[in-house]
Amino acid sequence: MDNDKYYIIRSTRATLKIHDLNGRVLKVMRLQLTAGYNEVQVTSDQLPKGILYYTLETSQFKQTRKMAVL
């Protein structure tokens, strides 16, 4: 997975979920994000190859993006 950057206004806890095209959750990461830019890195060695989605969620924010695992 490419590194992805997020700008967070204030420090917060977040959850990053990686899921397949059917919505099955493959990996869950609990994160503590600080105010400002944060970079999220995920190793793909335990993920299946192909198109997957990841969702970053805080108490006030939720965003889902697509990624390719090669």
Residue pLDDT tens, the chain, 70 long: 557 788 889 999 999 999 999 999 999 999 999 999 999 888 888 899 999 999 999 999 999 999 999 8
Q: Specify the number of domains making up the chain.
A: 1
Distance CA 30, CA 28 (A): 7
Contact 52, 69 (CB under 8 A): yes
Token readout for 61 is 């924010």
Q: Which residues contact 24 (CB under 8 A, 6 or more apart)?
A: none
Read off the amino acid at residue 4.
D
Q: Which domain holds residue 28?
A: 4-69
* pTM of the predicted model as reported, rounded to 2 decimal places: 0.84
Cα radius of gyration (the chain): 12
- Provide the CATH number for the domain around residue 40: 2.60.40
